[in-house]
Structures are given as C-alpha cells and as structure tokens.
Chains A and B, each alone.
Chain A
Amino acid sequence: MSELSQAGGAFLAVFRRDLHVYVSYRTRMVSQLLTSVFSLTLFYYISRLVNVSGFASPNQYFGFVVVGIALVSVLYSCFAIAEQVRQELIAGTFERFLLSPFGAVAGMVAMTLFPLLFAFVLAATTLGVGVVLFGLELHWATVPFAVPAMALALLSFIPFGLFFAAVTVATKQGNVGTSWFIALVSIVGGLYFPIELLPGWVQKISEVQPFTPATELLRHLLTDSPQANSTLTTVAKLAGFAIVLVPLSLLALREAIRYGQRRGTIIEY
C-alpha cells in the first residue's frame, strides 16, 4: 500500500512539475486559446463559403469540423511526449528518472498526464467558443457521455505517443515523424472532412486505427451526427486498441531504455 501511495505521489509530482513549468510561461495559454479561436473563425467562414456535399447546411459542416479541430489539439498533446523526452535528455533531467526508484518508464507515462488534461480543457474550451461565438449546436443530452468516451479515446491514442517517445530515446532525434503522423491522422481520421471522400483503399485504413472510430463516436455524442457502427461496437473497438497497444507501447519504452543502457548511450542527446 505504501509503495502504491509513493508511486501515486510520484505521478502527481510529475503532473505538478509540468503545471508549474507551464504557468511560468505566462502568455502560453493565451496563445493557445487564440490559435483555437482563429481556427474556428477560419472554418466558420469556410463553411459559409463552400457548399459542402454530404452536409444539409453550413452549420452542420461547422459542427463536424469543430469536433475535428478539438481533437487535433488532443492529438498534439498525445504526441508531445516525444518532444518532451527529447528536452529532458538535453537538460539532463531524463537521467533523474533513470536514477530514481520511480523509474524512467513510469516517468514518461507520468509526463503524459498534464498535456492530456490540458488538451481535455483546451478541447472543451474550443467547443465552448464554438457555442458562444459561432452558434455551434451541441446535443446536450449526450454531451456528458463524451467525457468517458474521450478518456477511452485517449487511452487508445496515447500508445502512439509513447511509441514515438521510445524512438526518441533510442535515436535521440527530436522530430521522429510526429508532425507528418498527425497530418496523416487528420486525413484518414476524418478530422476536417468525411472519410467517404477519400479513395476506397485509404478508407480501409480507418478500420485498423483508433482515430476514425474515436472521432466518429465523439461527433455522435457531441453533435448527434450519424455513425458507421453502433456506439457499443465503437467503444469495444477503442477498448480493444487500448488493451493491445498500451502494454506494447510500455514494452517499447522499456526496450528503448534497455537498448540505450546496453550501448551506454542512454543519456546522450
């Protein structure tokens, strides 16, 4: 019990550390909120400009894309871990985790807590701005269910961030492909437009990754948009991805660290 309590304290300490560092940059939150507002404004007017097939009205497309924009910020947070690990390597603070009883794998998992919670807040703020400034219509009866759905989605997304972190630990490279991966997910995940517009073979990719079903589920719960599958099927799919990918990503992290320790390069950057 004591060990569990100490480990819980360590997880919270990493969260608090990231919070302290975040608030020490006073303009960062304003900058992120403004980015979100400008994106919404841009897509609001695009939805008015373009007669989008598949949508009954410009408002319907706007509702569609707002959820996508909110999810993009969540994706960036999931993948931020790779860059954070790179910064820890450069600062020599990654060594602290390696030398601590808490350990580097647990440390890296703990490093995802603050960015994910912040992404949660940013996504909610994006939706709130959409409602207040642009008249976004949410399906309030099912909005509360979006919170556990988002948590499940995060569990299925975060292993991808941890895989990239493992590559960073092994190769020391900062940009290990997270940017292009997020761009790819934006396309195949249907964040900005329906995946039905894509070629058939690309659509098939949506069946082997969690991003498309998560996006569909969240859109359904937030704006009552139709889903390709039932909610239960989508939830089962996301849970399946999480159950398989979380242990695999932790294993990848552990092996990346062991690789560096064997070669003696673990603290190089």
Chain B
Amino acid sequence: MSAGLVATAERQGDAVVNRGDQVPLALRGICKRWAADRPPVLDELDLRLDLGSKTWIGGRNGVGKTTLLRIAAGLIDPDRGRAEVWGFTARERHRRYQRLVSFLPAGDRGLYARLTVRHQLEFWARIALVERGEVKSRTERAIEEFDLGDLAEHRVDRMSMGQRQRLRIAMTFLPEPETVLLDEPLTSLDAEGGVVLERAIDGLIARHGALLWCSPSGEHLDQEFDTRLVLENGKLVPA
C-alpha cells in the first residue's frame, strides 16, 4: 500500500477492521482467555492501524491492554484470530514481522545490567538485524536523539529508572520500525524524557509509521491521537 493511498484512509473511528484490507498492523477477531472459568480478556477484538496514524488505547489496570500489545507484537498467540502486519502473522514470517514492528514493554526490564548504554544499543541493533554498515551510525544517532550522550559509557545498573526508560525507548526506535507499540511509555520519565519521546513519535509519523500507545486512562498525555479507544470487557470502544 502506498503512503498516498494510506493518507486518504479514514483514521478517526476506523477501529473496526475492514477485512480483506492490508495495513501496517491489524488485529482480526482476537480472542484470549487466561482461565476457562473466567471471561475472555480479549473477545473478538478488531483493530487496525494505518500508516501515519497515532492510536491510543486506555482502560483500567488488568483489563488486557498489555495482553493486546503482546499479541500485536507477536510475542504471544491469541486463542483465536490473527495479528497481521501487511496480511501475514509473526508465525508465518517472523523475521519480516519483527523488522516492521517494535514493542516497548511496560516496566524497566529487558536491559543487561552490566552493559553500557552504547553496548546495549549496539547489541540491540545487531539482533534487530540492522545493516552491518549502519549499526554504528544508528547507535550514535540514538544516543544523540535520546539525549544519552552523557550516559553512553555508563553501565545500566548505575542508572536511574528514568534514564533506563529513555534507553529502552531509544532501543524501541533504533531499528526504525514501521509500527511502534508502546506500553505505558511515560513510566519514570521526566519532562525532558517526555519531550524526547514526542520527538521520536513525530519522526515516526513523518516517515509514515504507525503508533499504538497503551496506558491507563489517568496517564497525562500531551500527544494528539487520531484514534482514542478504551478496552472494556474484552472489546475496544471509542474513548
């Protein structure tokens, strides 16, 4: 799908999937139940992200936002339904799927405590299969864009929670994915960190990427979203 075609797509209120259409990310009829004696956490859920769009999903703690993101990221499977990137799932084309989608999980995990910021970014660039000739330049760019210059040679276990979060966000954007999934990205971030994140999102949208941001309803948001939804009883409804 060309960027021009995408630019004409309706975004607001376009959460219900148009079957047969292929988009950067589509969740089609997703069902997930954690226990047989409890209602499904995601119930025939549909969602589509278009290129150049920003979508926010809110909802109470434990309502299933993280589960939704993990399925969208290709980390876990739904019981039923498909999470697709341009029509294919992570199981069908793992490498391609993970090249196009990048996920920031909630919390402060996923970092090697005894590696420096630079080593961490280079390592992630390598396993994200960034072109070999671009690893150094992407790493340096991430250090610069996410204001990590003073911390580049610092070990992660000697950094504050907010600094770690900035590093985690830098890792999310470093491979220049088409779709970015953020789970409570403002956790521990100070105002400067928030500005850095906004800049990264602006860059993503400028290159026609798609954003899905999940957070509890109470989280402060300066971002303007094309679509705002709330997850309730396993379904997405307009916020």
Contacts and interface: CB of A to CB of B under 8 A. Distances in A.
Interface of A: 2-3, 5-7, 9-10, 12-14, 16-17, 20-21, 24-25, 91-93, 95-103, 107, 260-262, 264, 266-267
B77 A107 contact: no
19 contacts: A10-B129, A13-B126, A17-B112, A17-B123, A20-B115, A21-B115, A91-B111, A91-B112, A93-B112, A95-B109, A96-B124, A99-B73, A99-B103, A101-B94, A101-B127, A102-B129, A261-B75, A266-B76, A267-B76
Interface string B96-117: 1011001101010111111100
A91 B94 contact: no
Contact of A99 (B75, B112, B129): B75
B123 A13 contact: yes
Contacts of A16: 119, 123
A17 B113 CA distance: 11
Given A20-B114, A20-B119, A21-B112, A100 B105 contact: no
B74 interface: yes
Interface in B61-88: 67, 70, 73-77
Given A10-B127, A102-B127, A103-B94, A262 B132 contact: no
Contact of A264 (B76, B102, B109, B131): B76
Contacts of A10: 126-127, 129
Most buried by B among A13, A17, A92, A264: A264
B62 to A, nearest CB: 15
Contacts of A266: 75-76
A3 B129 CA distance: 8
Contact of A9 (B67, B70, B73, B135): B135
Nearest to A104: B94
B26 to A, nearest CB: 19
B93 to A, nearest CB: 10
B77 to A, nearest CB: 5
Interface in B6-65: 32, 34
A90 to B, nearest CB: 9
Nearest to A23: B114
A17 B132 contact: no
Contacts of A260: 76
B95 interface: yes
Contact of B110 (A17, A92, A107): A92
Contacts of B99: 101
A76 to B, nearest CB: 21
Residues of B in contact with A, size category? 35 or more
B132 A100 contact: no
Nearest to B73: A99
Nearest to B98: A101
B129 A92 contact: no
Given A95-B110, A96-B124, A17 B119 contact: yes
Contacts of A6: 126, 129-132
A99 B109 CA distance: 14
B40 to A, nearest CB: 12
A97 B112 CA distance: 13
B122 interface: yes
A260 B113 CA distance: 25
Contacts of A96: 110, 124, 127
B128 interface: yes
A13 B127 contact: yes
Contacts of B129: 3, 6-7, 9-10, 100-102
B131 A101 contact: no
A26 to B, nearest CB: 11
A20 B114 CA distance: 8
A93 B111 contact: yes
A74 to B, nearest CB: 25
Contacts of B74: 99
Contacts of B94: 101, 103
B126 A12 contact: yes
A261 B126 CA distance: 24
B98 A99 contact: yes
Q: Pick the 9 closest A-B CB pairs, nearest first.
A: A92-B109, A13-B126, A102-B127, A92-B110, A6-B129, A24-B114, A100-B127, A264-B76, A101-B95
Given A9-B129, A17-B112, 16 more contacts: A3-B129, A9-B135, A13-B122, A13-B126, A20-B119, A21-B112, A91-B111, A92-B110, A95-B105, A96-B110, A99-B103, A101-B96, A101-B127, A101-B129, A103-B98, A107-B127
Contacts of B73: 99
